[in-house]
């Protein structure tokens, strides 16, 4: 088993996912500023999805960075995660083109929900392949964000049918949740490596 090649392949797939989304921003008709206005929902969807795919890359990076042993049982969970991430560009574009209609918000949330579930499956498999008290196992045990995210996405899916603002707000909120404390943990870890959060 070659950890480097799994990382390289995953990096390749995630790099393509995060980049091809921009291909789906269709050129506006006309070359003045006003022509950009109808693109706003598409652009906002793009920003949100760029942040989400970036979060997954960061998490994948941290997850595999803490791994010392790996076996063939992680290949398919890893591909399963990549499968759901690969649907992000479609869900993003559908949502942006239909100005955050209920069904598109629910499908977008479902893709995020499945990505978070499959990320947890991958994490569990990697923990099983390593010692029960490995740093990876400890990090996974206190990874409350990974545990709560699927719940929030479920709330977002339910809210899609009631209010686009609430559903969108939940998706943005979970993204911010992942963005902000990431820094705090890193900062804390740099100052006091022995302290457990």
Residues that bind a second copy (CB under 8 A): 1-2, 5-9, 11-20, 22-23, 25, 27-28, 30-33, 35-36, 47, 50, 54, 57-58, 61, 65, 71-73, 75-76, 79, 82-83, 86-87, 89-90, 93-94, 97-99, 101-104, 107, 179, 182-183, 185-187, 190
Nearer CB in complex with a second copy: 31/194 = 31
- Taking the C-alpha atoms of residue 125 and residue 134, their distance in angstroms, rounded to an integer, is 13
What φ, ψ does residue 196 adopt, rounded to 5°? -90, 140
Q: How far is CA 181 from CA 85, 145, 178, 187, 194, in A?
A: 23, 10, 6, 9, 18
Supply 184's token pair.
């705090």
The CA-CA-CA angle for residues 160, 170, 176, to 5°, reads 150
Pairwise CA distance, residues 10 & 122, whole Å: 13
- Closer residue to a second copy (CB): 43 or 144: 43
Minimum distance from residue 46 beta carbon to a second copy (Å): 9
Q: How far is the CB of 159 from a second copy (least distance, A)?
A: 16
Is the CB of 104 or the CB of 115 nearer to a second copy? 104
Q: How far is the CB of 146 from a second copy (least distance, A)?
A: 16
Cα 77 vs. chain centroid, distance in angstroms? 15
CB of 136 to a second copy, least distance (A): 14
Could you give the CA distance from residue 149 to residue 171 in angstroms, rounded to a whole number?
A: 10
- 58 vs 124 by CB, closer to a second copy: 58
**Residue 9 phi/psi, 5° resolution?**
-65, -45
CB of 149 to a second copy, least distance (A): 18
């Amino acid at each position: 088993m070659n950890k480097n090649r799994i990382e390289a392949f995953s990096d390749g797939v995630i790099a393509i996912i995060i980049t091809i989304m921009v291909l789906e921003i269709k050129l506006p008709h006309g070359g003045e500023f006003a022509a950009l206005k109808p693109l706003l929902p598409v652009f906002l969807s793009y920003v949100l999805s760029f942040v989400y795919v970036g979060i997954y890359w960061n998490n994948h990076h941290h997850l595999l960075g803490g791994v010392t042993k790996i076996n063939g049982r992680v290949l398919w969970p890893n591909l399963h995660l990549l499968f759901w991430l690969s649907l992000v560009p479609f869900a993003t574009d559908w949502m942006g083109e239909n100005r955050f209609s209920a069904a598109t918000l629910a499908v977008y949330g479902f893709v995020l929900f499945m990505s978070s579930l499959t990320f947890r499956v991958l994490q569990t498999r990697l923990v099983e392949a390593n010692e029960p008290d490995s740093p990876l196992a400890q990090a996974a045990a206190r990874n409350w964000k990974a545990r709560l995210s699927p719940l929030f996405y479920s709330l977002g899916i339910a809210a899609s049918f009631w209010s686009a603002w609430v559903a969108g707000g939940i998706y943005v909120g979970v993204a911010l949740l992942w963005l902000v404390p990431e820094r705090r943990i890193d900062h804390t870890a740099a100052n006091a490596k022995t302290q457990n959060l």
